[in-house]
Amino acid sequence: AQSVTQLDSQVPVFEEAPVELRCNYSSSVSVYLFWYVQYPNQGLQLLLKYLSGSTLVKGINGFEAEFNKSQTSFHLRKPSVHISDTAEYFCAVSLNSGGYQKVTFGIGTKLQVIP
Amino acid sequence: EPEVTQTPSHQVTQMGQEVILRCVPISNHLYFYWYRQILGQKVEFLVSFYNNEISEKSEIFDDQFSVERPDGSNFTLKIRSTKLEDSAMYFCASSESHTVNIQYFGAGTRLSVL
């Protein structure tokens, strides 16, 4: 079974500063990796995904993540955050075998951007 | 841009009552899912549905839960006799492909059981 660990439950950061949200996963087989964002009182929006190919993936709103197979990590980064980035961010994984594979989520990291 | 639509956004019910949560997946998607998020906890998988039958279900998805695709567009989650611990945000998701599983989520239905 796969699992996801998000080490930081909350990350405060000043506006225009860089941020990294950490994610580690565990799986005995190949996986797809995702980051979802949940703005206050809203649903889960797909931020970016790693399926195959280049280990650096770019997503919406200037976010990017790097897949590191040896460290089983998929950290999310943004070089300069904005107030509107305040949200909860979920790292997620599903098995790389197609079809109806469930997505397993991490506990989430709350990003608080401070003006 | 196509999106998954869920109704209602908030459902309040009395313990022991039946509730039906509704979802309209993205139109060309073939795989459908329900997840739930109890306040302060992880988003948890409940059930996946394909070709008019359950593909996989978690241990949470007991006999009190059922899913149905009553027509070509809707996908519903029924809880027969709600308990206080069923209070949560319920998310519907859908995915298109049997080769690449990218799931798109709805905005959720907040279920409050009193």
Q: What is the pLDDT of residues A65-86, one digit of tens each?
A: 999 999 999 999 999 999 999 9
Give the residue-averaged pLDDT of A75-99.
90
Instruction: Identify the closest residue of chain A to B58 by CA–CA distance.
Output: A102
Report how far residue B45's alpha carbon sits from residue B102's, in angstroms, rounded to the nearest whole number.
15
The per-residue pLDDT for A21 is 97
User: In the structure encoding, which two tokens stand for residue B4, read together?
Assistant: 């998954």
Mutate to test the interface with B, among A31, A90, A102 (most CBs of B within 10 A): A102
Are residues B90 and B11 in contact, defined by beta-carbon separation less than 8 angstroms?
A: no
Quick: pLDDT tens for B54-73: 999 999 999 999 999 988 78
**Strand, helix or coil for residue B40:** coil
Q: Check CB contact of A49 with chain B, cutoff 8 Å.
A: yes
DSSP bridge partners of B41: none
